[in-house]
Amino acid sequence: MKEPIRIGIVGYGNLGRGVEQAVRQNPDLELAAVFTRRPPDQIHSQAQVLPVEKSWDFRDKIDVMVLCGSSANDLPEQGPLFASQFNTVDSYDLHARIPEYFERIDAAAKEGGNLSLIAAGWDPGLFSLARVLFNSILPKGKTYTFWGKGVSQGHSVAVRRLPGVKQAVQYTVPVPETIERIRKGETPELTAREQHQRICYVVPESGADRAAIETAIKTMPGYFADYDTTVYFITEEEFAASHTGMPHGGFVITTGTTGGGYRQQAELRLELANNPEFTGSVLAACARAVYRLRREGKTGACTMFDLPVGYLSPQSPEELRAKML
Amino acid sequence: MKEPIRIGIVGYGNLGRGVEQAVRQNPDLELAAVFTRRPPDQIHSQAQVLPVEKSWDFRDKIDVMVLCGSSANDLPEQGPLFASQFNTVDSYDLHARIPEYFERIDAAAKEGGNLSLIAAGWDPGLFSLARVLFNSILPKGKTYTFWGKGVSQGHSVAVRRLPGVKQAVQYTVPVPETIERIRKGETPELTAREQHQRICYVVPESGADRAAIETAIKTMPGYFADYDTTVYFITEEEFAASHTGMPHGGFVITTGTTGGGYRQQAELRLELANNPEFTGSVLAACARAVYRLRREGKTGACTMFDLPVGYLSPQSPEELRAKML
């Protein structure tokens, strides 16, 4: 048995917990420590929990640090800082800012002689791989990405901020008729409204004006105005019983035409009962790939586009060829 | 505009034609020549067609040679021979013999200072990538591969060899109820019969004993005895009108459980109106990746597991990060 790959986790929210659970499912990975900005005794991890300032002492004890902070608030600062000291994996997901973030991480990681994988997960991540794979094979094609059914944190927060709203969750749901059209091979231009619908479950404050809340949601620019939105008012009990899970998923579908005029279709579909646990599982597999690529001498920033798929697996190339090809 | 990557094709059956059509859909690829063992004037390609003996003269004029011969009859000899002279891509698909074939190609390619990608296509190929990707992310999971609806050449040939059969085609079809169970998240052990069914369309010789043909098919060991098989007798006209296409496809589905007990599911689905044209499109994208990896210094044999997914795309890493991630 080879020595396990030593993993560190920075930030212990839903994603950090998901990474810990994933590491425990993989015998070739070992959780060395969790680092947090909260008081360590408030963190219920099976690993040792330390204040984030202690992480520098672990430079020789951790092979890959998985950064589980938020893309908006934590990673812009944490990412480059840790990339200068450790091999890292993160799930940076602000699509528009990825090129700029990549450059900053690349400089920091190269300076430290480390390898840093950014924007890992399922979108960006697996869905990005599917978009590139399908488009590379079917250059005369059209690709659609559908998200859901799943919770959108940004939209949920926007609803919760409205006056009279005590608690709320927003589900993004692909429009079933549209998916059916796309799967049949149609390649229409789609408006936002045709592609996704939005469903809100709202617990109102007692005495709140429900009609006003519903109107405020449905007309909210940027978030809801361009979609068909349905609002359900429910009790706190219903909310607690049915709407605290974190399901998500979606589809990437490419329909293309090859030279003889034949229609070819490829689809990647994910149906996730728990989004952060699945994302954590992707990050754990990516940590394995980063460890291997670094051992080959690669440094700087990279994305899942740069990973040979076999590097994500605990199996050797020989095993993969014999059993999985 | 950079110089296009110069592609050669060895063997001009359905797959060779598919590769030519794919190359024409990709402006960064250019078909330098087609090599054949048949009289070149019988080949209707838009590129120059030459006898296969002339291929050695093209060592400086072709960047990647795509080998389109059969796995059983051509590649065992052709593969190592060409790997010693060219970078190559092939679609070797005899799963059980891949390790041995890999070793022979690896030795030949290393000796010639070339890079050879074997077993490219969709299975082995894209489906293999999905199996590895999904299993790496969901180690506590179960993976199923379904093929079809599609034509199985081996089974069609087996039927055509029976006495009294003039023409025949066999479709492999996933059992719809089983797919439904798997998509719902069940993870049963499945028999061959539960997973796929077989449908044969047979044109009988005039006066042939249809009942005898049907029994001979349904009881044929190795091919049909373990499956529910349906046999339809049709006319030559019906055969020509409806059964000369080459559709195929299938599914790879992994259902796994992450640490908190949540069920997570991933699926890759392909629905191909023309199997050899799609496979040819995969080989063309793989030729691009082989060209790039060889320029980085890699030699020997490799599989699609060894390819960074981004290398399959004509877009630069910067473009991919900005637009596809």
Give me the half-sphere count of Cα atoms (radius 13 Å) on the Cβ side of residue B296: 11
| pLDDT tens readout for residues A116-172 | 999 999 999 999 999 999 999 999 999 999 999 999 888 999 999 999 999 999 999
CB contact under 8 A, B264 and A282: no
Look at residue B153 in the predicted model and tell me its pLDDT. 85
Angle at A267 between CA B291 and CA B4, to 5 degrees: 20
Look at residue A65 in the predicted model and tell me its pLDDT. 98
CB contact under 8 A, B265 and A270: yes
Sheet arrangement for strand A64-67: A49-51, A29-36, A5-10, A64-67, A87-90, A115-117, A300-302
Report chain A's C-alpha Rg in angstroms.
22
State yes or no: pLDDT of A271 exceeds 80.
yes
Give yes or no for a contact between B149 and B249, defined as CB atoms under 8 angstroms apart. yes
CB contact under 8 A, B325 and A303: yes
A308 burial level (CB within 10 Å; 0-12, 13-18, 19+) = buried
Residues in Cβ contact with A184 at an 8 Å cutoff, skipping those fewer than 6 apart: none
ipTM: 0.95
Rounded to a whole number of angstroms, the distance from the CA of A317 to the nearest CA of chain B is: 8
Rounded to a whole number of angstroms, the distance from the CA of A68 to the nearest CA of chain B is: 17
DSSP state of A205: P
Angle at B15 between CA B12 and CA B21, to 5 degrees: 85
Residues in Cβ contact with B105 at an 8 Å cutoff, skipping those fewer than 6 apart: B79, B80, B83, B88, B116, B118, B301
3-state secondary structure at position A55: helix
Residue in chain A nearest B24 by alpha carbon? A259
Give yes or no for a contact between A280 and A67, defined as CB atoms under 8 angstroms apart. no
Indicate the average pLDDT of chain A. 96
Give the predicted TM-score (pTM) of the model: 0.96
What value does the mean pLDDT take over residues A307-321?
97
Let me know how long chain B is.
325
Interface test with B, best of A101, A248, A305 (most B CBs within 10 A): A305
Residue A2 pLDDT grade (very low, low, confident, very high; cuts 50, 70, 90): confident
CB contact under 8 A, B22 and A259: yes
Residue in chain A nearest B26 by alpha carbon? A139
State yes or no: pLDDT of A59 exceeds 90.
yes
Look at residue A154 in the predicted model and tell me its pLDDT. 86
Residue B57 CA to residue A195 CA, distance in Å, equals: 54
Residue B289 CA to residue B296 CA, distance in Å, equals: 11
CB contact under 8 A, B264 and A258: no
CB contact under 8 A, A317 and B306: yes
Look at residue B2 in the predicted model and tell me its pLDDT. 79
Residue B303 CA to residue B90 CA, distance in Å, equals: 10
Residue B125 CA to residue A75 CA, distance in Å, equals: 36
Report chain B's C-alpha Rg in angstroms.
22
CB contact under 8 A, A139 and B267: no
HEC string for chain B: CCCCEEEEEECCCHHHHHHHHHHHCCCCEEEEEEEECCCHHHCCCCCCEEEHHHHHHHCCCCCEEEECCCCCCCHHHHHHHHHCCCEEEECCCCHHHHHHHHHHHHHHHHHHCCEEECCCCECCEHHHHHHHHHHHHCCCEEEEEEECCEECHHHHHHHHCCCCEEEEEEEEEECHHHHHHHHCCCCCCCCHHHHEEEEEEEEECCCCCHHHHHHHHHCCCCCCCCCEEEEEECCHHHHHHHCCCECEEEEEEEEEECCCCCEEEEEEEEEECEHHHHHHHHHHHHHHHHHHHHHCCCCEEECHHHCEHHHHCCCCHHHHHHHCC
List of chain B residues with pLDDT < 50 = none
Give yes or no for a contact between A162 and A310, defined as CB atoms under 8 angstroms apart. no
The label of the residue with tokens 């030519």 reads: B20
Out of B137, B281, B309, whose CB is closest to A258? Answer: B281
Residue A1 pLDDT grade (very low, low, confident, very high; cuts 50, 70, 90): low
Interface test with A, best of B137, B248, B269, B293 (most A CBs within 10 A): B137
| pLDDT tens readout for residues A61-112 | 999 999 999 998 999 999 999 999 999 999 999 989 999 999 999 999 999 9
CB contact under 8 A, A281 and B138: yes
State yes or no: pLDDT of A48 exceeds 80.
yes
